[in-house]
Chain A
């Protein structure tokens, strides 16, 4: 075999192995999708095959009472507001630390580093009481307030990237008389768009997918988020597995669409700036 032939054989083997592995890994997702078109009996008798008869009744039933639509709206509100605030707070803090290096900013940076290691769960019990004192338990607003905690994570991703910006840029702007707000808004924000995109994508996925906080802080049906809705569907329709699978598919569709649009941005920013800060 010539070297180029050898390369070709290697490429063929690689293709087969990788694609086979990818397809095996995707079987659970296929299982969910295919089950949503089956009846209960069909699903038990024949878990992995194609449906004996394709049925769309599950989808009709899933939309019937409207709670799933409500859950989508709730999750959308929480995600959009929370992520916007997180990114704003995180990027402002990162700029504050980078813009003027002093003992004070160094201390804040250090404290935030430690904060990053503190799990949200450790503060959940007091936060629970705090929110209940303000009547914020079981409300979307209360949930958004809690998600502000992720600003620290945003700060971390952003500050690493900002450090790679040339310091002379700030100096030049200062000499030209630009104030800090102007520098932040007109110069820094446009320059850090790559990491901002990454952070937004990260946080949107994290907020949309979160189960811990909604499961503890939300209890009424009208406030449910999508993930909570799927979890409750298991209990509610426990003998109707295809219906559960259908609700799962519905919950995954927006995530899938979002993923298709944002895939390329997700990691690019991470590489450019180190997470360690």
Chain B
């Protein structure tokens, strides 16, 4: 197919002079990049510049006038306990889900890669948990984690004689619930990702190890884990970027409460900027959020590259 295509191409087009085509090539790559440059400018660059601009003002979102207030919006953020709590929970969520999902997904993938009955059924089931929208999953779990005695989880616990737990009505339990649901959703998805990587590990590596007398734990730490490093890098990268941007799940599961305990930065930006008409403050939050994301992701990429180099 490919060979035929090339052959066809050569038959219909004339050869060109090498030097004149260089400029043409540069121009044509510009044409290919133009759409994404437009998208980037309109949807990212200009809004970011505007965010930065408004973050220095007391603009309220609909008035025609506003004043420059310097960095006072930024100062206000660091004085506002609700926003600090949003920052704290966003970081907690991103790091906790990244670590926990990774710790559960790898063993799950290794197990699902071994012989058993109903394997493809189990694989599909675990994977499907991550397919529905997070917003919908949050709504479902809201019923399950109801702090009332009539809540599903509390009813199940009551069967075992365990007293009611104030799930979503307690700061720490609510944080736990959000992270728990996120891990529940994503483990199967990431296990599937690891499965695909596991299947690329050459079988003779394990055979050689068995000949050398390595037990299964040694095989896991000396063959499986190092071979999985590219997969871990990809998986953790997706988890971290998704985790920092988290909005849907806590919004529908807890609404950010109780108090501000499960408030996230995304939610705070929307609430301040649109719901509460504090556009300047919301913009300042956007700018800080962007910086935080770039720092965390750059650090993660750096660490990942270093680790990958060591194991190559």
- In the assembled complex, B136 has its CB within 8 A of some CB on chain A: yes
- In the assembled complex, A276 has its CB within 8 A of some CB on chain B: yes
- In the assembled complex, B241 has its CB within 8 A of some CB on chain A: yes
Flag the segment in B67-75, B138-146, B167-175, B217-225 that touches A.
B138-146
Are A155 and B36 in contact, CB atoms less than 8 angstroms apart?
Answer: yes
Are A93 and B32 in contact, CB atoms less than 8 angstroms apart?
Answer: yes
Are A148 and B234 in contact, CB atoms less than 8 angstroms apart?
Answer: no
B169 CB → nearest A CB, Å: 18
- Interface residue range, chain B: 35 or more
Flag the segment in B39-47, B76-84, B95-103 that touches A.
B39-47
Query: A122–B290 Cα gap in the complex (Å)?
Result: 6
Nearest B-chain residue to A248, judged by Cβ: B136
Are A108 and B37 in contact, CB atoms less than 8 angstroms apart?
Answer: yes
What is the number of contacts between chain A and chain B, taking CB atoms within 8 Å?
Answer: 299
Query: A251–B200 Cα gap in the complex (Å)?
Result: 36
Which residues from 262 to 278 on chain B have a C-beta closer than 8 Å to any C-beta of chain A?
Answer: 265-266, 269-270, 273-274
Q: CB within 8 A of B36: which of A93, A129, A268? A: A93
Q: Within 8 Å CB of B289, what residues of A? A: 119, 121-122
Q: Within 8 Å CB of B15, what residues of A? A: 175, 177
- In the assembled complex, A60 has its CB within 8 A of some CB on chain B: no
Query: A112–B118 Cα gap in the complex (Å)?
Result: 43
**Cβ contacts B33-69/A at 8 Å (1 or 0 each):** 1011101101110111011001000000000000000
Nearest B-chain residue to A262, judged by Cβ: B131
Q: Within 8 Å CB of B47, what residues of A? A: 122-127, 130
Q: Is the interface of A mostly helix, strand, loop or mixed?
A: helix
Q: CB within 8 A of B270: which of A28, A116, A124? A: A124
Q: CB within 8 A of A116: which of B30, B33, B241? A: B241
- In the assembled complex, B211 has its CB within 8 A of some CB on chain A: no
- In the assembled complex, B301 has its CB within 8 A of some CB on chain A: yes
Which residues from 209 to 253 on chain B have a C-beta closer than 8 Å to any C-beta of chain A?
Answer: 230-231, 233-234, 237-238, 241, 244-245, 247-248, 251-252
Name A residues whose Cβ lies closer than 8 Å to a Cβ of B.
Answer: 7, 11, 14-15, 18-19, 22-23, 25-26, 28-29, 31-32, 44, 47-48, 88-90, 92-93, 95-97, 99-100, 102, 104-105, 108, 111-112, 114-130, 145-146, 148-149, 151-152, 155, 169, 172-184, 186-187, 190-191, 205, 208-212, 216, 227, 230-231, 234, 241, 244, 248, 251-252, 255-256, 259, 263, 266-268, 270-271, 274-276
Name B residues whose Cβ lies closer than 8 Å to a Cβ of A.
Answer: 1-2, 5-10, 13-16, 21, 25-26, 28-33, 35-37, 39-40, 42-44, 46-48, 50-51, 54, 111-112, 114-119, 121-122, 124-129, 131-137, 139-141, 143-144, 150, 152, 155-156, 184, 188, 192-193, 195-197, 200, 230-231, 233-234, 237-238, 241, 244-245, 247-248, 251-252, 265-266, 269-270, 273-274, 279, 282-283, 286-287, 289-290, 293-294, 297-298, 301, 304
